[in-house]
């Protein structure tokens, strides 16, 4: 447990010390929120879909969490070769505890990033559902953490198989952006072509975005319990896979 706590705390301290990283990682979500929110707002409203900022904000929060979570894997590649992780992995401690501590730390950092975007979304005009209850905010926080946990684990599993930054960046280009754009974060899941409908249902981020929409603006497409179940099951599967792949790393 001490190893898990040390790795978790180290990830959070690294994040809090890097002010430029915090500010820099907010740039893209803010750009998407304002540029897409106001640029496509009239089109969305004229189609009878309501306020696009309301619809878009949960998707932008999920995007921020997704990006922060996945690129935690890039840090692991560097840390494994030159940093603290290299020293930790030769110590007589459980590889699972090391990996799980990193995953928890990365998921916590990504959740914090999502909360920052949530607060900033109010400046763009986002508002909670008029009949919003406090317990829904807590459930929204749970969804944010589950998204972070799922994709931090996925990023760690991928990074465990790679030894250079270029390979990871290539995979991220074919994982991160399709995962985001096909999750329904920027378009409704209703009345989609059959192929698109199937793809969105396969995309795990779809259920995270849907859960956030359900808890923040009461506009979920799937039942919330189904969203939670899928995210939890996938997180456990990837945690087991990531743990196995991490155990195979040679120092």
Reading the chain (251 residues) residue by residue, the pLDDT tens digits are 677 888 788 778 877 777 777 777 788 888 888 888 888 878 877 766 778 899 999 999 999 999 999 888 777 777 777 666 766 766 677 788 888 888 999 999 999 999 999 999 998 889 887 676 788 889 999 999 999 999 999 988 888 887 777 776 777 678 888 999 999 999 888 888 999 999 999 999 999 999 999 999 988 999 999 999 999 999 999 999 988 988 887 76
CA torsion, points 145, 199, 127, 110, in degrees to nearest 10? 30
User: What tokens appear for 232 in the block?
Assistant: 């939890």
What's the confidence (pLDDT) of residue 83?
63
What's the confidence (pLDDT) of residue 115?
94
**C-alpha 242, offset from chain centre:** 17
How many whole angstroms separate alpha carbon 79 and alpha carbon 13?
15
Could you tell me if 105 and 3 are in contact, meaning their C-beta atoms sit under 8 angstroms apart?
A: no
Could you tell me if 155 and 121 are in contact, meaning their C-beta atoms sit under 8 angstroms apart?
A: no
Could you tell me if 97 and 3 are in contact, meaning their C-beta atoms sit under 8 angstroms apart?
A: yes
What's the confidence (pLDDT) of residue 127?
87
Give the range of the structural domain holding residue 108, as residue numbers without chain letter: 2-247
What's the confidence (pLDDT) of residue 82?
67
How many whole angstroms separate alpha carbon 177 and alpha carbon 157?
18
User: What tokens appear for 114 in the block?
Assistant: 């999502």
pTM score, two decimals? 0.92
What's the confidence (pLDDT) of residue 101?
87
How many whole angstroms separate alpha carbon 9 and alpha carbon 220?
34
How many whole angstroms separate alpha carbon 106 and alpha carbon 70?
9
What's the confidence (pLDDT) of residue 215?
94
Q: Is 58 helix (H, G, I), strand (E, B) or coil?
A: helix
Question: How many folded domains does the chain comprise?
Answer: 1
């Amino acid at each position: 447990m001490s190893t898990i706590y040390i790795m978790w705390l180290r990830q959070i301290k690294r994040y809090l010390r890097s002010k430029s990283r915090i500010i820099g990682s907010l740039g893209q979500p803010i750009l998407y929120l304002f540029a897409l929110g106001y640029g496509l707002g009239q089109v969305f409203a004229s189609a009878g879909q309501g306020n696009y900022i309301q619809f878009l904000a949960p998707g932008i929060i999920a995007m921020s969490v997704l990006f922060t979570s996945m690129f935690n894997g890039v840090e692991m590649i560097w840390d494994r070769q030159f940093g603290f992780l290299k020293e930790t992995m030769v110590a007589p401690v459980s590889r699972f505890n090391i990996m799980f501590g990193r995953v928890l730390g990365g998921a916590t950092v990504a959740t914090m990033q999502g909360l920052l975007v949530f607060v900033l979304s109010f400046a763009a005009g986002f508002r909670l559902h008029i009949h919003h209850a406090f317990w829904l905010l807590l459930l929204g926080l749970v969804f944010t953490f589950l998204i972070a946990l799922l994709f931090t684990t996925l990023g760690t599993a991928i990074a465990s198989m790679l030894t250079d930054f270029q390979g990871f960046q290539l995979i991220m280009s074919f994982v991160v952006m399709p995962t985001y754009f096909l999750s329904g974060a920027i378009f409704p899941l209703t009345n989609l072509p059959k192929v698109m409908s199937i793809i969105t249902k396969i995309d795990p981020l779809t259920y995270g975005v849907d859960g956030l929409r359900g808890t923040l603006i009461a506009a979920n497409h799937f039942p919330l319990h189904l969203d939670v179940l899928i995210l939890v099951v996938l997180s456990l599967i990837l945690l087991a896979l990531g743990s196995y792949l991490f155990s195979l790393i040679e120092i």
